Amino acid sequence: MSILGNIIWVVFGGLIIFVEYILAGIALCCTIVGIPFGIKVFQLSVLALVPFGQEVVPAPQSSGCLSLILNIIWLFIGGIWIALSHLIFGLLFCITIIGIPFGMQHFKLAGFALTPFGKTIR
């Protein structure tokens, strides 16, 4: 089911989200300060390309206080807006029964986009 879900996801917008995240990651990596944020955006792009069959889990060696500080900075850079857009898309998809699995994937993306530091994709 995850292969079929990922194919449908990519065809109906997942590829566009992936390209947007890649471009944002490249833009963030152009500055030295933005490199950690760009790396997390690249991880978010992988999850946005094929979300079915993947899960977001706490990182085994989280850096604790540094993750908290980076998550707070990330919220101001754009994490709130990215998470809010995924939340809205998730609610729109969940209106129909067929769209519920895709809405759930947007909710997963929203959670990872809100606080990406200290988490990893498995």
Average pLDDT over all residues of the chain: 93
Q: Please tell me the distance from the alpha carbon of residue 22 to that of residue 12, in angstroms, as a whole number.
A: 18
How much is the average pLDDT of 32-50? 95
Q: Long-range contacts made by residues 76-82, C-beta under 8 angstroms, separation at least 24?
A: 77/37, 79/113, 79/114, 79/115, 79/116, 80/114, 82/44, 82/110, 82/113, 82/114
- Domain coverage including residue 20: 2-121
Tokens of 119: 């988490």
Q: Please tell me the distance from the alpha carbon of residue 69 to that of residue 61, in angstroms, as a whole number.
A: 16
Residue 28's pLDDT is 93
Nearest to 86 by CA among 67, 63, 60, 112: 112
Residue 62's pLDDT is 63
pLDDT digits (tens, 9 = 90+) for 44-100: 999 999 999 999 998 887 677 888 999 999 999 889 999 999 999 999 999 999 999
Total domain count, the chain: 1
* DSSP E strands, 1-122: 56-58, 119-121
Residue type, 88: I
